[in-house]
Every structure is written in C-alpha cells, then in structure tokens.
Chain A
Amino acid sequence: MNPLLLWFHKLGSPPYFYRFAGSWLPWLYAIAIVSGAAGFYGGLAMAPADYQQGDSFRIMYVHVPCAWMGLFAYLFMAANAFIALVWRIKLSEVLAMASAPVGAAFTFVTLVTGSIWGKPTWGTWWTWDARLTSELVMLFLYFGVIGLSNAIEDTRQAARAAGFLAIVGAVNLPIIHYSVVWWNTLHQAQSVSLIGPSKIDPRMLWPLLTLAFATHVYFFASVFARARAALVELESGKEWVRALASEPAHG
C-alpha cells in the first residue's frame, strides 16, 4: 500500500492517533506561541499606525485571524461530521466535537474584539451590520451543536446527532449570510467601510498573515488536545487505555 495512504488509515485508529497527536502537541504549541509572538510584535510595534484610525486598528490583529478561524473551524467540524456519518470513522466524530468549542471560542472573541473595535471607530458597541449579524448567528449554530452533544447521554450518538446538525448548519450558512446581507441593504444601515484587503500596506499585512498561521496551528493543537482527552474517555474500557493508565506518568 502507498505509505501515505497507509499512514492515513493508521491515523483513524484511536491509539495511533493518541500517540501521534501527543508527540505533535508540544511542537504545535511551540510553533503557535513563537509565530503568534512574532505576529503580535510585528502588528503592535512595527506596523505603522493607520492614517485614519490611529492605533485602534491594531485590534485587527486579534479580530481578523479569529474571524477566519471561526469559519475555518466550522468547515473543519462539518467536514469531519460528514466523514463520520458516511464512513463511520470514530476519530472524525471525536475531532468534529472537539473543534466545536474551539470554533465557538474564536467566534466569541471575534464578536467581542469587533465590538471593542467598533466603539472608537463607529461610535457604537454593536450595529446590525451584515457581517456582525451572520457572525452572531454562527455563534448560535455553534452553541446548538455544543448543546445537542452535551444533552445526549450516549457519547457516540451525541457526536453523530450534533455532527448532523453541523452539516445542516453548514448547508444553511451561505443562505443565512446572503439573507442577512440582503436584509441589511434593505434597511439602509450606516455605511460601514473597513480597510479594503487590496489596499492594505505590506507592513501591516505580514503580521496579519503570521497571526493567521499562528491561530491555525493553535486551533489544531487545541483540537488535538481535546480529541486525546475525549478518546481516552470514550475508549476507557479498551486495552490500550488501560495500558496507558498503568504506565508511569509522562506527557
């Protein structure tokens, strides 16, 4: 068998994934912290102040990567839920459920930093702008997935039901987004102009991309850590977990 394919098949086995994720975790955290620190230094200290917004634009370096991650985490969750439902891979169920709280946290941070950013620039904590509204709806979708998976007692059934909901939400997400955009234009809201991505200064851009990379790595580190804990709990009766429990403590 093709070695890459073989590795991929192996990865689906809980004990193999547990060891694989465990050996990668410290590296992922280290890369996330180093690139995150570099990005923050570039964004907060090196990038020039915005000619219009002054220093307040620097919250973008938290806001924008988190917004991207909120969406990415949803897609990751829905894709894993789809794999779990079609090919019945246990690991995908675990990964889908592990990414839900992380994605919800990123979305929440996006909303909070957005509202902090909105106060000096737009003069209000909250406006019913299309992006804000669809971000809020996405947070509710996350809460629905988390709530459903917590409410069903059987872990595997909970993961499959909540995963199905995640897929339904993913199908509806574009409809929700475009309906909110349409609703917003109908209401003639205040015209909000963010910095256009094409016009951004390269000195401002590289820290943003570095931080986007850092949040991706952090996302995977966090999901891996959660998935490891969930796997041990799920497979607590199995041989490999018992062997793990009887081993002397290590990372």
Chain B
Amino acid sequence: MKAGTTGAACTAVLVRDFALVWRRRGDALNPLLFAIIVVALFPLALGPEEAVLERIAAGTIFVAMLLAMLLSLDTLFRSDLEDGSLEQLVLSPHPLALLLACKIAVHWLTTALPLVCIAPFAAELLHLPSPVRPVLIAALALTTPLLSLIGAVCVALTMGMRRSGMLLSLLVLPLLVPALIFGAGACNAAQAGLGYAAPLLWLGAWLVAALVVAPLAAAAALRISLT
C-alpha cells in the first residue's frame, strides 16, 4: 500500500496496536482471569445448588464480562496519551474517526473476543443449559463491540483528567443498560423456551448504528479532551 494514504495509516495503527498488545501479552490475560473469578464467586456466595445457578447463569456471565471489559477500557487510549502518540493521531491529516475505529477494533479483538471464547467455559461453571449457550455466545458477540464503541466515547471524554478510575464506570454503565437488558434478555428468553430473535435483532440494529456514530463521537470527544 502506498505510504501516506489513509489505508496505510489505518494499517499502521492496527499493526502498532497489535504489536503493543503482543509485547505485553500477560496483561491481555487479566480480563479473562477477572471474568472467571467473578463468575466463580457467585456459586461461593449463593451455594452450589444447580437449579439456582442455572437460573442466574446468563445474567451473571453477562455482568462479569461487562465488568471485565470495563476494567480494560481505561487502557484504550491511556498509554498513547502518555507517550504523545494520541496527539499525533489527532494532528494527522487522516480522518481521526477512522483511526480511532481501528484502535477500537484492536481493543475488541484482544480483550472482548477472548472473553466471548471463554463464555462456554463460564457457562459450564454455572450449569447453563447447553441449548442456551449458542444464544449466549451470539448475544455476547453483539454486546461486547457495543461496549467497546460506547466505552471508547466515554474514555475519550475522560482523557482530560489524570486517572479516570471509578468515574469511567459511572459514565459507561448507565449507557449500557439496554445492551445488558437485550443481551441477557435473549438468553433468559431462550432458557424459558421463548423466541429470542427479537432482542438479538435489536442488539444488531443498535450495534450497526453505534458502528457508524460512535467512532465519530469518540473523535469529537477526544478533540474536546485534548484542547
């Protein structure tokens, strides 16, 4: 690809971010461990009865995955802000929204995709009935990119302060209520033997809208934070 084109810039961002994650691959495991530990805490707190765990399995896994992703969100732009590369992205002649979309995609592929992959394992821990598992994976596959996208907008807004910490969860979680309702709702409907297509389709529609709007919003938010 010719140097200097937007395509080359996007490739450069993708390659750089993947390389950064690969060099600190131990850190990439932390969200997975966190999610598994949170899932494991529920049987310890509620008792090991299969019927109880079956009932709460889908919701618990959803909440655990969302919290695990939330913890990893702050790293999305933080190190780039500290070493100055984020300013270079903002100053570059290429569309900032597109470059941020590349960064968000890398974040999703390196933190959310592994989480979706271990979902069947977490489902086994909580005795989620096996017919519900494909629905759980589909719902997670639609919900986690939403979280990456909406989270990116909120993270971009918090770049103006030194540490975002708890505040980030206060910003992101209320916006994610619909994702949680539809995602866990699809699993609960499947578990109750009801149709689960409608909530999944809603999630898909919302994801498509977020894919278009969220990178633009993140770019606008980042420009606000860095001025």
Q: Which residues of B contact A153 (CB under 8 A)?
A: 160-161
Please give, as numbers and ranges, the residues of chain A lying within 8 Å of B160 by CB-CB distance: 152-154, 157-158, 161
Of A141, A144, A164, the contact of B221 (CB 8 Å cutoff):
A164
The answer to whether B224 touches A175 (Cβ under 8 A) is no
Per the bound structure, the CA–CA distance linking A157 and B171 in Å amounts to: 17
Residues of A within 8 A of B177 (CB): 137, 176, 179-180
Partner of A183, one of B158, B164, B181, B224: B181
Q: How far is the CA of A52 from the CA of B64 in the complex (A)?
A: 44
Q: For the complex, give the distance between the alpha carbons of A143 and B178 in Å.
A: 18
**C-alpha gap A182/B173 in the complex (Å):** 19
Q: Does A165 contact B (CB under 8 A)?
A: yes
Which residues of B have CB within 8 Å of A143?
170
Asked if A168 contacts B225 (CB within 8 A), the reply is no
Q: CB distance A182 to B181 under 8 Å?
A: yes
Residue on A nearest B198 in the bound complex, by CB? A182
Across the interface, which residues of A come within 8 angstroms of B173, CB to CB?
Answer: 140
Task: State the main secondary structure of chain B at its contact with A.
Answer: helix
Q: Is the CB of B175 within 8 A of A179?
A: no
Taking CB atoms, residues of chain B closer than 8 Å to A147 are 167, 170-171
Taking the complex as formed, is A36 at the interface, i.e. its CB lies under 8 A from any CB of chain B? no
Chain B, interface size category, equals: 20 to 34
User: Would you call A179 and B224 a contact (CB within 8 A)?
Assistant: no
How does the 8 Å CB contact mask read for B159-200 relative to A, with 1 for contact and 0 for none? 011001001001101110110011001001100000000010
A168 to B217, CA, bound (A): 8
Is B206 in contact with A164, judged by CB distance below 8 angstroms? Answer: no
Among residues of A, the one whose C-beta sits closest to the C-beta of B164 is: A151
- Contact of B206 (CB < 8 Å), options: A165, A175, A182: A175
> By the criterion CB–CB under 8 Å, are A165 and B157 in contact?
yes
A154 CB contacts on chain B under 8 angstroms? 160
- Report if A161-B167 is in contact (Cβ < 8 Å); known contacts: A175-B206, A179-B177, A182-B181: no
The residues of A with any CB-CB pair to B shorter than 8 Å are 85, 137, 140-141, 143-144, 147-148, 151-154, 157-158, 160-162, 164-165, 168-169, 172, 175-176, 179-180, 182-183, 186
**Known A144-B174, A169-B175; further 18 A-B contacts with Cβ < 8 A:** A137-B174, A140-B173, A143-B170, A144-B170, A144-B171, A151-B164, A153-B160, A157-B224, A157-B225, A161-B157, A161-B221, A164-B157, A165-B171, A168-B175, A169-B174, A172-B178, A180-B178, A186-B189
Q: Residues of B at under 8 Å CB distance from A?
A: 153-154, 157-158, 160-161, 164, 167, 170-171, 173-175, 177-178, 181-182, 185, 188-189, 199, 202, 206, 217, 220-221, 224-225, 227
